[in-house]
Amino acid sequence: EPEVTQTPSHQVTQMGQEVILRCVPISNHLYFYWYRQILGQKVEFLVSFYNNEISEKSEIFDDQFSVERPDGSNFTLKIRSTKLEDSAMYFCAAEDVPAGGLNEQFFGPGTRLTVL
């Protein structure tokens, strides 16, 4: 079964540094998402992406965050200047049709980001 992969599995960085989290979605999927889960808290929606544009973003997704799909395969989440509170597990998800229907979002295994 095709799967979503994410790299790295664990990223440790110093506060203020930039990080890029990478996701390789399933090849025929067109809708992409980032979620995050701070330890002990809920999985929270960050952003959705379709046709090289952000479709929706949450309040969490401020100017420090950006997403892109530069080469038509990798889907990246960049945090420009990391803060301690950015430490979380970041999940990428991919879907093949628009939101609202029962079309499963396939999730990657996550990248654990630790900001020191």
Interface with other proteins by CB under 8 A: which residues? 4, 33, 35, 40-45, 48, 56, 91, 93, 99-102, 104-110
Specify which residues 89 forms β-bridges with: 37, 112
Distance CA 31, CA 40 (A): 28
Rounded to 10 degrees, the C-alpha dihedral 60/61/65/66 comes to 160
Q: Nearest distance from residue 80's CB to other proteins, in Å?
A: 23
Query: Based on CB atoms, which residue is closest to other proteins, 14 or 27?
Result: 27
Which residue, 79 or 94, has its beta carbon nearer to other proteins? 94
The stretches of 4-116 forming alpha helices (DSSP H) are none
Nearer to other proteins (CB atom), residue 35 or residue 65: 35
